[in-house]
Structures are given as structure tokens and as C-alpha cells.
Amino acid sequence: AATGTQKPLAEALDQLAFNDQGLITAVAQQVDTGEVLMLAWMNRESLEITLKEGRACYWSRSRQQLWRKGESSGQVQWLKEVRVDCDGDALLLLVDQQGPACHTGRRSCFYFDLNGERMEVVKEPMLDPASLYK
Amino acid sequence: AATGTQKPLAEALDQLAFNDQGLITAVAQQVDTGEVLMLAWMNRESLEITLKEGRACYWSRSRQQLWRKGESSGQVQWLKEVRVDCDGDALLLLVDQQGPACHTGRRSCFYFDLNGERMEVVKEPMLDPASLYK
């Protein structure tokens, strides 16, 4: 499709390739620095909430409920843009992350470096995770 | 774990949270610009190949086989770093992408912009996709 081609939102959502659990992967990226913050999952409802409220809302697979990022930690992801990929089975959220994205207090959840010999912790927490959940 | 904490590779791979199909999500990001290029899947073998060969090898869910990125298109992803996330169920690959990552000839697969009203194509192909697969 040519640049500028449009489709109404409802039609676009109908065509997303949610998996057999009704979920789609969502990658959150910090809009100004480009840092990849985390990967999470959305169902259709959480995506609609995200678009409507302007902040990331995921589906928590462990708790089986909607998860407005930051609702307990205060570390909200303000939404700037949402992108869908070529085959409609992944989302990229450009966000402005308040504080750390990770429950360990790190800016990004991707803090283990893996190479042919070992895995190593390569990032420091921004703050004590005990201060995130009171 | 403190910064610098290490674990041998085999032990780290044993602890990755592959899903019930033996797969883990992998996000590919262009190492210098930070552009998120694509999201794909890996099994343990493809991850080991990636680390060994220094270029991204995924597991193709549609073809149910190893997929050395660029093997048919020539658009190889040279590996710079691999990161694992906090709960071990997602990978971030920092790569140097040769040409377009997307089969449509676009640099990134994330070329649909989604907002509260519509979805719109916002990126141009770098080259004619017909030239990628001969």
C-alpha cells in the first residue's frame, strides 16, 4: 500500500493478528532516546484503552487482567505513537516513560547481555525497586 | 543481581522462558540509529546459531524452519549484541541491518501508524520488493 493509505480504526483492529489467546506483542520504545524499554502483551481492549487514554495499558498474562502501566508503581508510559507491523501481529509503542520501565528499578527490562560464553548484568537500577511498590 | 554478575551461557539458555512451542520473542533494533526493525521468534537452536555465526537466525513459524535472515533476500542482520529481559522471555538484538528488514522493501516492518481514528501507511519502501526475492 502506498504511503498515506488509510483505513478506519475499527477495520484496522479487526484485521490485527491476535494469537489464540487474543493477544498481540507490544514493544515499548522511549520516543526521544530510542531505548527499547520492555516487551509486553495487549488484547484488543487494552489497545483500545491505550489509544483512548493516551497511556500504555497492557494485558497482564500472569494476573490475567488489564494493566495500566504505572498504576501501582507510578511509572506511567505516556503514549506518543503506535505502529503496527507488516503482518499485523506486533505493535511498537513510542512512549515517554516516567522513571524506570522495569520492576527491578531499571530504565529498561533488557539488562542482561548474552554472548557466546556468558550472560552478564550490564545495567544499574535507577532507583530501589522497594520504593516502586508500597 | 548486581551489575557484572555473570552466568555461563548454557545455564543462561536453560533458564530462558521459551513458550509452549519452544519459542521466545526477539526484537531487532538497528544498533546505530535505534530504529526498531522487526519482531520475530527464536527457538533455542536459532539463538545458538545466532550467537555462533554473528548474524540473526530466527525460527520461521509460517515455514516451521530455521530462518537465517537474509538467506534468500540478501538482507542480512549482522549481530552486535543480544540482550535478555528481566523475566527471560524476550530478546533484544542489536544488529546492523543490511538494506531493508521488511519483505515489503521497507527499512522497518513497523510502517503502519495507528491512532484513535485510523491506521495509515507512513513509511516508503527503500527498494522494490520484487528485487529482493528472485
Tell me the per-residue pLDDT of B21-34, one tens digit each, with 9 for 90 and over.
Answer: 999 999 999 999 99
* pLDDT greater than 90 at residue A134: no
The 3-state DSSP class for residue A83 equals: strand
Domain interval for residue B24: 17-99
Alpha carbon distance A24, A59 (integer Å): 9
| Joined grid coordinates for residue B72 | 534468500
* pLDDT greater than 90 at residue B1: no
Which sign, positive or negative, has the C-alpha torsion B11, B77, B101, B123? positive
* Distance to chain B for A129, nearest Cα, Å: 12
| Domain contains B53 | yes
Alpha carbon distance A66, A45 (integer Å): 8
- What CATH number is associated with residue A55? 3.10.20.810
- Interface residue B62 vs chain A (CB under 8 A): no
Work out the percent of chain B whose per-residue pLDDT is above 70. 99
| Domain contains A104 | no
| Domain contains B10 | no
**Interchain proximity A33–B34, CB inside 8 Å:** yes
The 3-state DSSP class for residue A13 equals: helix
Alpha carbon distance A112, B103 (integer Å): 30
pLDDT band at residue B69 using 50, 70 and 90 as cut-offs: very high
Predicted local confidence at residue B134, as pLDDT:
61
| pTM of the predicted model over 0.80 | yes
| Domain contains B33 | yes
Per-chain mean pLDDT for chain A: 96
Query: Which contiguous run of DSSP H or E holds residue B82?
Result: strand B77-85
Residue A57 is labelled as binding a ligand: no
| Domain contains B48 | yes
* pLDDT greater than 80 at residue A133: no
| Domain contains A126 | no
* Distance to chain A for B37, nearest Cα, Å: 9
Q: Judged by CB atoms within 8 Å, which residues 77-106 of A form the interface with B?
A: 81-87, 90-92, 102-104, 106
Q: Which of A46, A91, A93 is nearest to A71 (CA)?
A: A46
Q: How many domains is chain A partitioned into structurally?
A: 1
Mean pLDDT of all residues in B98-121: 96
| Domain contains A115 | no
**Interchain proximity B85–A1, CB inside 8 Å:** no
Tell me the per-residue pLDDT of A11-68, one tens digit each, with 9 for 90 and over.
Answer: 999 999 999 999 999 999 999 999 999 999 999 999 999 999 999 999 999 999 999 9
Residue B89 is labelled as binding a ligand: yes
Cβ-based neighbour number of residue B7 at 10 Å: 17
Residues of B in contact with A1 (CB under 8 A): 121
